[in-house]
Structure 1
Amino acid sequence: MSLTLPNAIDAAADSRDDNAFFEVVWRDTESDATGYVVIDRLVRGVSSGGLRMRAGCTIDEVRGLARGMTLKEGVHYEPGAAYVPLGGAKGGIDFDPYHPDADGVLRRFLQATAPIIATRWTMGEDFGVQQTTIDGLLPEVGLTSSIQAAEQVVDDPAAAQKRMAAAFASVVDGVSLDELVGGFGVAKAALAAMARRNMARAATTAVIQGFGSMGGATARYLAEAGVRVVGIVDVEGVVYNPAGLDVEALLLSRSAKGNVDRSRLRPEDQQLDSADWLSIEADVLVPAAISYCINDGNQAQVRARLIVEAANMPVTPEAEQLMAARGIEVSPDFVANSATNAWWWWVFFGDVDGTPEQSFRKIEDRMTALSDEMFDIAEADGISLRAAAFEMASRRLAVISADLPIY
């Protein structure tokens, strides 16, 4: 089903012959913004996926992200766990997140889609949208939480919300726990892949594109593990040092939008043009910002042996195929960057108590196990890591589909 919604939800429905279960197109009446919600699948009547804002966001992009969320949910199915994966969904707004009216656009979008958020779509921050902003706007549109739809499928909603509140109040070395869990998972996925390819940590270099919650935490935990982070990319360009950047100093002084404070650079650090980010000599490349940033037009610049997708859909299929012919492997997003989503639900459903100790232990165990399983399948079947990850997710989704109501 597809709906077109203006601000007042004056909806007209029509049927579509596509794979999505439900789609919404929203058009703002006070700006040129257009928004989308795509529910790829409902499990027990509920779906999960974040909301992004960027100029140029399209319905096809959101469809792909929603399908990726179905896979991302599926790979974390564990028999006997309290958290049983939900369906996949995603939201997107075609608007510049740096525009002065970005928060107004977001508020109007949330107002229009509030009935879906209340009952079917659990959502949170993604590229261009911060969770603190979402949380501040929700009461204005009559919602208590961005994940209140999940209260329908948890035994004790009050206890679940209490665990979530405690988890989101935790701070680890100057950074909120909720801003660290995703990148911590990406770092663990990268380290597991490096181990499979005999890449010694101390001899490995990395470039991180994007320095928000996902990229910043990935950089922190790779550096902590001994990997030399030689480049960080933000909207202003590239900061680079072949001997390694002081990741912690840059992380704790970055802006709310994830921009590096250039005044904190050391004399030996360099500033490069943003166009140079792909061609930096490094072993591991972590795109942690936008979709489709590595494509068939620029993939020839990549020097890394391993790409670990911290962003959603940062590598196009055409680029991935061309790079595979050159021996470059890609650890796919719906495994490598899945820890944020899984962590929310582990805490909410009670598989972890939300403390940093339990959270990091669970993430490390699961991301290492999933990465190893993915490599095992790829090597046994002679297929790519993405194909192996898809097979891994498909097996779990088949079990979920057999045991639970799927819509």
Structure 2
Amino acid sequence: MATATAPVQEAHYSFFKSVEESFDKAAKFTKWEKGILEQIKACNAVYRMKFPVRMEGNRIEVIEAYRVQHSHHKLPCKGGIRFSDEVNQDEVMALAALMTYKCAIVNVPFGGAKGGIKINPRHYTPFQLESITRRYTAELVKKNFIGPGVDVPAPDYGTGEREMSWILDTYTSLRPGEIDGAGCVTGKPVALGGVRGRKEATGLGVFYGLRELCNVKEDMEKLGLTPGLEGKKVIVQGMGNVGYHAAKYFHEAGAKVVCLIEWDGAIYNEQGLNPDEVLKHRNDTGSIVNFPGAQNLAKNTDGLEQDCDILIPAALENVIHGGNADRIKAKIIGEAANGPLTPEADEILNAKGVIVVPDMFLNAGGVTVSYFEWLKNLSHVRYGRLGKRFDENMNIHILSVIEEMTGRKVNEQERKFIAHGADEVDLVYSGLEETMIAALHEVRDVMNQNKDIKDMRTAAYVCAINKVGVAYESLGIFP
């Protein structure tokens, strides 16, 4: 039976400090003066709260929670809410800062924010979680830390559509008659104003970004790889929403998912694993270990060090650190999780020539599709509703004219494909694909324009700092 091993962290490690270090490293490649850089880097508002919630048995529990608005250069602020007993102010500030830079890179017009409630959701009943979530939302409303034009939360670790529904209901009950109230939160069920494609958005965005990188012949030649995904060996850490969908899309694209890692173990098969079959095995047995045809690894962290072309950490922070970075064999690391590499690991891997595609834009699929959901809520119309039938009728007409001119008929399957008009999920996928591809090339352009920038993380920060700096400059707040 495989055993779980917690990630080794350097003592006194500060996630927010590591974000600031990366920021400072990139800032010297920008034109902005020190004062503007300090403003871009600073967290504008930190709301730390403690509130009582009555539990079953008439017991009262005091809950610790946070909401951080990192930047107001554009409104509303945007960022998820996580439920975890590891939540602390440093982590929430760091994640809020990353949201600012992430939104800037993918050209989503939000300032960064993040929220967290310091609980382990596994230790609470649904009724208790609802009470906590609704009270947290009420606290945010009191301080004007939530609203479609102010601050728009979303799901994160430990939360999902259910929690977002509770937030929406609480907000609209406290702000009755607000016409755009549904835009106060994203990641909602489709029935409550959510958008199709949101659930798989982050994992799909990771796939789009890494697929585009693998199509860049110049970068692949440096790594000794051929362009494209076919046959590339992939390792994914985490079989949650993000990791599962990333693994699924890579598998479907012809890559070999040779290793999957979870908190309770890791499995390996050099011929490749089918993520759907592994997920079914986990649902049936409660664990991915002992999957038929796969080898159980002694420790789950051993999975990170297996031979592969692409490593995708999609679960915890700081899983690759100074203690194991030199044993990582991957040629490309795609940060699907937030902060999976420590700064020391970054330096070691960059020196080895590994391409590290940073979380700052690679896992931006979630906020990108959340942006689409927010726009849908403000416009009060479903994507595709106005144009789908028109496009289908026009496509059928064009096809009929071509068939008449050529004297050839297409088969029924081809006819359906050609005639298809874009519905909501098609448009969401298309917008996400365009966003991720454009972001990757923007970051690569920064590297190509300044040969002193040696890694994609620094280039991504430079890209983000420049965009936020221009926004602040345009606001005219600096005399």
Same fold (TM over 0.5): yes
Q: 1:163, 1:347 within 8 Å by CA — same for their partners in 2?
A: no
Q: 1:44, 1:406 within 8 Å by CA — same for their partners in 2?
A: no
**Aligned equivalent of 1:357, options 417, 426, 445:** 426
The residue that corresponds to 1:80 in the other structure is none
The residue that corresponds to 1:329 in the other structure is 355
Larger CA deviation: 273-282 vs 93-102: 93-102
Q: Give the drift of 1:21.
A: 0.9
- Identify if the C-alpha distance between structure 1 residues 56 and 403 changes in structure 2 by more than 3 Å, giving closer, same or farther: same
CA distance in structure 2 between the partners assigned to 1:329 and 1:236 by the alignment? 28
Give the AA of the match of 2:355. E
- Identify if the C-alpha distance between structure 1 residues 247 and 167 changes in structure 2 by more than 3 Å, giving closer, same or farther: farther
**1:268 is aligned to 2:298:** no
Secondary structure, counterpart of 2:114 in structure 1: strand
The residue that corresponds to 2:208 in the other structure is 188
CA distance in structure 1 between the partners assigned to 2:188 and 2:132 by the alignment? 30
**Aligned equivalent of 1:392, options 463, 470, 474:** 463
The residue that corresponds to 2:113 in the other structure is 89
Secondary structure, counterpart of 1:57 in structure 2: coil
The residue that corresponds to 2:372 in the other structure is 346
The residue that corresponds to 1:55 in the other structure is 85
Q: 1:40, 1:70 within 8 Å by CA — same for their partners in 2?
A: yes
Matches within 5 A, 1:6-17: none
Q: Give the drift of 1:376.
A: 2.8
Is there any run of 5+ residues in structure 1 with no aligned partner, and where?
1-16, 78-83, 171-176
Q: Give the drift of 1:132.
A: 2.0
- Identify if the C-alpha distance between structure 1 residues 128 and 149 changes in structure 2 by more than 3 Å, giving closer, same or farther: farther
CA distance in structure 2 between the partners assigned to 1:111 and 1:163 by the alignment? 21
Tell me the alpha carbon deviations over residues 219-241 of structure 1, each in whole angstroms, 9 at most, x when there is no partner: 11111111111122222211221
Q: Give the drift of 1:322.
A: 1.8
CA distance in structure 1 between the partners assigned to 2:94 and 2:183 by the alignment? 31
**1:109 is aligned to 2:136:** yes
Q: 1:43, 1:406 within 8 Å by CA — same for their partners in 2?
A: no
Q: Give the drift of 1:142.
A: 4.0
Q: Give the drift of 1:47.
A: 0.4
The residue that corresponds to 1:220 in the other structure is 248
**Aligned equivalent of 1:27, options 35, 50, 54:** 50
Matches within 5 A, 1:157-236: 165=191, 168=194, 170=196, 177-196=197-216, 197-198=219-220, 199-200=225-226, 201-236=229-264
CA distance in structure 1 between the partners assigned to 2:168 and 2:188 by the alignment? 18
**Aligned equivalent of 1:295, options 321, 336, 339:** 321
Give the AA of the match of 1:20. C
**Aligned equivalent of 2:151, options 113, 121, 128:** 121
Is there any run of 5+ residues in structure 2 with no aligned partner, and where?
1-38, 53-59, 385-422
CA distance in structure 1 between the partners assigned to 2:195 and 2:103 by the alignment? 25
Give the AA of the match of 1:338. A
- Identify if the C-alpha distance between structure 1 residues 64 and 345 changes in structure 2 by more than 3 Å, giving closer, same or farther: same
Give the AA of the match of 1:363. L
Q: Give the drift of 1:320.
A: 0.7
Q: 2:268, 2:296 within 8 Å by CA — same for their partners in 1?
A: yes
Secondary structure, counterpart of 1:217 in structure 2: helix
- Identify if the C-alpha distance between structure 1 residues 169 and 157 changes in structure 2 by more than 3 Å, giving closer, same or farther: closer
Q: Give the drift of 1:216.
A: 1.2
Q: Give the drift of 1:128.
A: 1.6
Tell me the alpha carbon deviations over residues 298-327 of structure 1, each in whole angstroms, 9 at most, x when there is no partner: 323322111111111121112111221122
CA distance in structure 1 between the partners assigned to 2:289 and 2:326 by the alignment? 32
Q: Give the drift of 1:254.
A: 5.7
Tell me the alpha carbon deviations over residues 113-145 of structure 1, each in whole angstroms, 9 at most, x when there is no partner: 234223632001111222323313542x34479
Larger CA deviation: 18-27 vs 316-325: 18-27
Tell me the alpha carbon deviations over residues 2-34 of structure 1, each in whole angstroms, 9 at most, x when there is no partner: xxxxxxxxxxxxxxx992111111224444642
Q: 2:334, 2:359 within 8 Å by CA — same for their partners in 1?
A: yes
What's the TM-score once normalised by structure 1's chain length? 0.80
How many corresponding residue pairs? Answer: 370
What's the TM-score once normalised by structure 2's chain length? 0.68
Instruction: Determine which structure has more spread, i.e. the larger CA radius of gyration.
Output: 2
Q: 1:51, 1:125 within 8 Å by CA — same for their partners in 2?
A: yes
**1:312 is aligned to 2:338:** yes
Give the AA of the match of 1:271. N
Q: Give the drift of 1:96.
A: 1.9
CA distance in structure 1 between the partners assigned to 2:101 and 2:139 by the alignment? 27
The residue that corresponds to 2:122 in the other structure is 98
Secondary structure, counterpart of 2:124 in structure 1: coil
Give the AA of the match of 1:335. F
- Identify if the C-alpha distance between structure 1 residues 338 and 311 changes in structure 2 by more than 3 Å, giving closer, same or farther: same
The residue that corresponds to 1:81 in the other structure is none
Give the AA of the match of 2:364. S
* Overall identity of the aligned pairs, in %: 26
Secondary structure, counterpart of 1:129 in structure 2: coil
CA distance in structure 1 between the partners assigned to 2:322 and 2:233 by the alignment? 24
Tell me the alpha carbon deviations over residues 356-385 of structure 1, each in whole angstroms, 9 at most, x when there is no partner: 211112211221221122123223323110
Secondary structure, counterpart of 1:124 in structure 2: strand
